[in-house]
């Protein structure tokens, strides 16, 4: 289909249709060929090659695919008496259900929701299928989790006969057709902005953030959009009167570093849209974990210690199975009121021994 429409890819005025994948010569709001409103246009559309792809409501989308009766129902994947929401479908999200929300709260917000407990084996399988399709586009695929990855499509134009932007759109259509779930894609010149872009118009989104607009775009965004600014650090910034990325853009590097150490340097660079991190396909599996949720509160240390021993053995078994070892042991504890506490300890040498992890 595309070959027939010899690509005017050097003309940035020419967008393309994300449904029939034809180039658009005019500036109409709908596709000249198929009438779809899903047109991609951007001055840098054919120059950018760094992408972030994220599946939409991944677990929920898979369950809906496998049971069409759920299609128009609010669906929550999660469970257990004490469980939290793993994924909510978009119908449930409209009613206020969010990931990581305690189940009882989710059901308060959306009492008619269908709840399914996660089938991780199935999700891992589908995640691998999606990843294999990504790896057919470029060897530079860096997974961030089961359902999202960075892709560097630089230099793939000859292989595909298409610019990266169109390859991405074609990929999204192929995933829908072959796997039966949807994805959102972000395209930019760096990882930081590609990831932000993919989150923009979910589901079935396709967003582009170009180099020329990066600083202006970032200026009006909240500091929490910066990778590494979590709740605690955001509170620190807020105490200092800093809320927007634009405020960071006005500060100089020395000042930021004096105030916030190495994080200050990151704030300086990312606030200006400077991110030189490369897509690294070997970054897979950075942690191995095991966890459990109690049906009732446990206050006895002896009981908790026994549970921790079991979890340490599980982690050890998983490390051994993957032939790897870990150096940082992290313990997470969620309290009755769903507050999360974490503690971590660095070992001198990597280990996979249950006893060492437990200690």
Point out the residues that are catalytic. Answer: 148
Of all residues in this chain, which one has the CB nearest to Mg ion in the complex? 54
- Measured from the CB atom, the residue of 23 and 59 that comes closer to Mg ion is 59
Q: How far is the CB of 338 from Mg ion (least distance, A)?
A: 22
- Measured from the CB atom, the residue of 23 and 58 that comes closer to Mg ion is 58
Q: How far is the CB of 168 from Mg ion (least distance, A)?
A: 16
Residues within the interface to Mg ion (CB under 5 A) = 54-55, 58, 147
Burial label, 31 (beta-carbon count in 10 A; 0-12, 13-18, 19+): buried
Structure tokens at 242: 């800093």
Q: How far is the CB of 270 from Mg ion (least distance, A)?
A: 22
Q: What is the 3-state secondary structure (H, E, C) of the chain?
A: CCCCCCCCCCCCCCEEECCCCCEECCCCCCCCCCCCCCEECCCCCCCCCEEEEEECCHHHHHHHHHCHHHCCCCEEEECCCCCEEEEECHHHHHCCCCCCCEHHHHHHHCCCCEEECCCHHHHHHHHHHHHHHHHCCCCCEEEEECCEEEEECCCCHHHHCCCHHHHHHHHHHHHHHHCCCCEEEEEECCHHHHHHHHCCCCCCCEEECCCCCHHHHHHCCEHHHCCCCCHHHHHHHHHCCCCEHHHHHCCCHHHHHHHHCHHHHHHHHHHCCCCCCCCCCCCCCCCCCCCCCCCCCCCCHHHHHHHHHHHHHHHHHHHHHHCCCEEEEEEEEECCCCCEEEEEEEEEEEECCHHHHHC
Q: How far is the CB of 147 from Mg ion (least distance, A)?
A: 5
- Measured from the CB atom, the residue of 147 and 152 that comes closer to Mg ion is 147
User: Which residue's entry shows tokens 């993919």?
Assistant: 198
């Amino acid at each position: 289909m595309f070959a027939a429409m010899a690509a005017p890819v050097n003309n940035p005025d020419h967008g393309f249709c994300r449904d029939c994948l034809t180039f658009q010569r005019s500036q109409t709001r709908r596709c000249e060929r198929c009438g779809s409103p899903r047109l991609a246009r951007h001055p840098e559309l054919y120059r950018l090659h760094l992408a972030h792809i994220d599946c939409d409501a991944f677990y929920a989308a898979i369950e809906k695919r496998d049971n069409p009766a759920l299609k128009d129902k609010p669906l929550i994947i999660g469970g257990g008496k004490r469980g939290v929401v793993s994924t909510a479908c978009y119908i449930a999200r409209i009613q206020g259900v969010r990931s990581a929300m305690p189940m009882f709260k989710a059901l308060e917000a959306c009492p008619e929701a269908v709840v399914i407990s996660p089938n991780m084996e199935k999700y891992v399988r589908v995640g691998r299928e999606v990843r294999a399709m990504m790896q057919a586009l470029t060897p530079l695929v860096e997974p961030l989790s089961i359902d999202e990855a960075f892709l560097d499509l630089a230099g793939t134009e000859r292989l595909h006969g298409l610019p990266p932007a169109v390859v991405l759109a074609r990929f999204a259509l192929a995933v829908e057709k072959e796997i039966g779930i949807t994805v959102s894609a972000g395209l930019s010149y760096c990882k930081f902005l590609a990831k932000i872009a993919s989150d923009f118009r979910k589901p079935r989104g396709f967003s582009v953030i170009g180099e020329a607009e990066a600083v202006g775009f970032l200026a009006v965004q909240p500091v929490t959009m910066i990778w590494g600014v979590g709740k605690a650090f955001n509170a620190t910034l807020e105490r200092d009167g800093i809320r927007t990325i634009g405020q960071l853009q006005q500060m100089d590097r020395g000042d930021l570093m004096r105030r916030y150490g190495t994080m200050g340097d990151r704030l300086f660079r990312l606030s200006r849209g400077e991110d030189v991190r490369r897509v690294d396909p070997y970054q897979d599996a950075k942690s191995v974990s095991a966890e459990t949720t109690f049906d009732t509160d446990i206050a006895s240390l002896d009981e908790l210690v026994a549970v921790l021993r079991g979890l340490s053995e599980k982690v050890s078994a998983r490390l051994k199975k993957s032939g790897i070892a870990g150096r940082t042991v992290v313990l997470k504890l969620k309290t009755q009121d769903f507050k999360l506490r974490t503690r971590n300890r660095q070992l001198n040498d990597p280990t996979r021994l249950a006893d060492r992890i437990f200690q």
